[in-house]
Amino acid sequence: MTEAAQNAGHKAEMEKLQAAQREKRRTLTDPERGLVLVHTGDGKGKSTSAFGVIARALGWGQRVAVVQFIKGKWKTGEKQFFTRFPDLLEWHVMGDGFTWDTQDRDRDIAAARAALAKARTLIESGDFALIVLDEINIALRYDYLSVTDVLAALEARADTAVILTGRDAKPELMDAADGVTEMREVKHPFHAGIRAQQGIDF
């Protein structure tokens, strides 16, 4: 095939793609309420992409809240960074650290329930364009929270988008969500014996 023919073929293919996109876009609507998005799976990027969405929302001047259900103790880059914007963002650390560090089920349950109560208050307030419930799926997985209570908190939203992160998302939660992404681990530096890196992993 000549280069001219290749270019013409490319142009035709792109025009077709563009037309299909346009037709699809023509029929799209805005959601009736804020989107509910779930980030789950065993790979990297569940919380991290929620933090990326936060950057996006802040870029448009939107108000954001974060409720951390599990990772409480670590000093992280994301927390240091986003807490510099107190006019737009609230960051609530409710968890007591990784569950295997606490080994106290009652305390974990109490922390998770306090976190959900906080989340519900924030959702009901209507004050936020975006609320991130970070690692809430872990609290659900260990039955620190009931999925019924979490769904009830989500039902209380109006225009607020909510992102729920953590592996092993409950099927009922994925059913109720508008979007679900599974971050699948293909290759992880940890399994090659590399420790978590400041600025990359925390």
Of the candidates 96, 106, 107, 95, the one whose C-alpha atom is nearest the C-alpha of residue 133 is: 95
The least CB distance from residue 57 to its own copies, in Å, is 4
| CB nearer its own copies, residue 53 or residue 114 | 53
- Residues composing the chain: 202
Q: Least separation, in Å, of the C-beta of 173 and its own copies? A: 11
| Contacts with 170 (C-beta within 8 Å, 6 or more apart), sequence order | 137, 140, 141, 147
56 within 8 A of 82, measured Cβ to Cβ: no
CA atoms within 13 A on the CB side of 161: 18
| Of 28 and 86, CB closest to its own copies | 28
User: How many whole angstroms separate alpha carbon 83 and alpha carbon 80?
Assistant: 6
Q: How far is the CB of 1 from its own copies (least distance, A)?
A: 12
Amino acid identity at 174: M
Question: Which CB atom, from 20 or from 152, has the smaller least distance to its own copies?
Answer: 20
